[in-house]
Amino acid sequence: MINYEGNASVRTADIDTAKLHWNSVVSTPDAKYMCLDIKNFYLTAALEYFEYMKIPLSLFPEWTQEQYNLKKLALDGMVHIEMRRAVWGLPQAGILANKRLRRKLAPFGYFESVNTPGLWTHKTRPISFTLVVDDFGVKYVKKDDVDHLITSIKSTYKLTEDWTGNLYCGITLDWDYVNRTVDISMPGYILKKLQEYEQLMPNRLQTCPYSPEPKKFGTEAQAPLPPDSSPKLNAKGIKRVQQIVGSILYYARAVDMTVLMALSSIAVKQTKATEKTMGRCTQLLDYLAGHSDAKVRFHALDMILNIHSNASYLSEAKARSRACGHFFMGWMPRDNEPIRLNGAFHVSTTILRFVVASAAEAELSALYHNCQTGIIFRLTLSEMGHPQPQTPVH
């Protein structure tokens, strides 16, 4: 019921920004990675104006009631509270805590990049970090630079330090500084979700996350897909579909991008889901059950953005087509040399808004969309210290 007068949104690092940062670590000589976490971050900011709430007296333990004489202070069985500092649940807690952190770090020379939310650098020191709420993912070359950052933060906050850098925002990082690689994964996440949805293990291995429509030839290839005529799900079934899409999306964006296209096709139908939609969800979960520990490996490279662009014509309902893009950090391709690949940091699976007239138009639309997305990553890489040449698009 609290109506905050200001803007409560907080600039925070995207998962793609974090992945580019990890690529930068393995590709920078002698660079390493560590993590920091501020304790009770939301409780550190003073409110711009006081807020109020009431709590039923019955929720307080008896010893708390006696200690604070709450029975005499309560009115109609409710204890009224004045909040002068931020607490969890207040809409302004995040932005106020973030503003305070900015004020405290600015005198020490740390600032956030203009174009990339959540990416911080220093005016003179070769150190950078991504910030998600109160979680710091720090790239450094010299330990003195990390000590400076830690001292700067500890002047105001209490910190926990993880010098292994093995866990960031729920993603496990396995660093190999000798061979200059990092493996990212989320072990155990899928198995927990399968238990949550009471999904039984399939009798045989499912090797495809999504069943495409049967291939057509000749003039039939120009016909749109037939509408879904299967019975609609009830409210409980629709909610289950939405839960599956929501809980798997972060995992898919983080480590297993092979299921993004399946999630996209299910997501566009989730508010009007049918039995066919639920069947696709079951197939997706069966696929994940057999491939529950996906990993992506980033190698040391020249930090040059590469894009692979593709489109599928009339592959979605209502005569729509799909554009896909595979983004990875690599090398500048050279004639007569095979294309060298690296783990993808971003995969785009977009349904084109407009109906295109041919497969050629679909490919051109995909090319436009992927290059438009690539401009954002070029800016991010430049702010990380990796200015980009002309981006090769395959």
Is the pLDDT score of 201 beyond 90?
no
Mean pLDDT of all residues belonging to the chain: 92
Mind listing the pLDDT tens digit for each residue in 278-323? 999 999 999 999 998 899 999 999 999 999 999 998 888 888 899 9
Residue 200: is its pLDDT beyond 90?
no
pLDDT confidence tier of residue 162, bands split at 50, 70 and 90:
very high
pLDDT at 317: 83
pLDDT in tens, 7-33: 888 899 999 999 999 999 999 999 999
pLDDT tens-digit series, residues 56-88: 999 999 999 999 999 999 999 999 999 999 888
Give the amino acid at 18.
Answer: A
Average pLDDT for residues 94-99, to the nearest whole number?
92
Q: Tell me phi and psi for residue 118, to 5 degrees.
A: 80, 0
pLDDT average, residue stretch 197-207: 86
What pLDDT does residue 340 have?
Answer: 81
Task: Give yes or no for residue 226 having a pLDDT over 90.
Answer: no
Q: Return the higher-pLDDT residue of 287 and 337.
A: 287
**Range of weakest confidence among 64-73, 120-129, 193-202, 378-387:** 193-202
- What is residue 336's predicted lDDT score, i.e. its pLDDT? 85
- Would you say residue 221 has pLDDT above 80? no
Quickly tell me which residue has 């330990």 as its tokens.
Answer: 143
* pLDDT, tens digit (0-9, with 9 covering 90-100), for 237-280: 999 999 999 999 999 999 999 999 999 989 888 888 899 999 99
Q: Is the dihedral of CA 347, 352, 358, 362 positive or negative?
A: negative
Separation of alpha carbons 100 and 46, rounded Å: 9
| pLDDT beyond 80 at 1 | no
- Residue partners of 212: CB distance under 8 A and separation at least 6: 315
**Does the pLDDT at position 89 exceed 90?**
no
Report how far residue 88's alpha carbon sits from residue 94's, in angstroms, rounded to the nearest whole number: 9
pLDDT of residue 214: 79
The answer, yes or no, to whether residue 164 has pLDDT greater than 90, is: yes
Residue 173: pLDDT over 90: yes
In sequence order, which residues have a C-beta less than 8 Å from that of residue 46 and are 6 or more positions away? 84, 85, 86, 96
> How is 3-61 classified by DSSP, letter by letter?
--SS--------HHHHHHHHHHHHHSTT-EEEEEEETTGGGSPEEEEEEEEEEEGGGS-
pLDDT at 55 over 90: yes
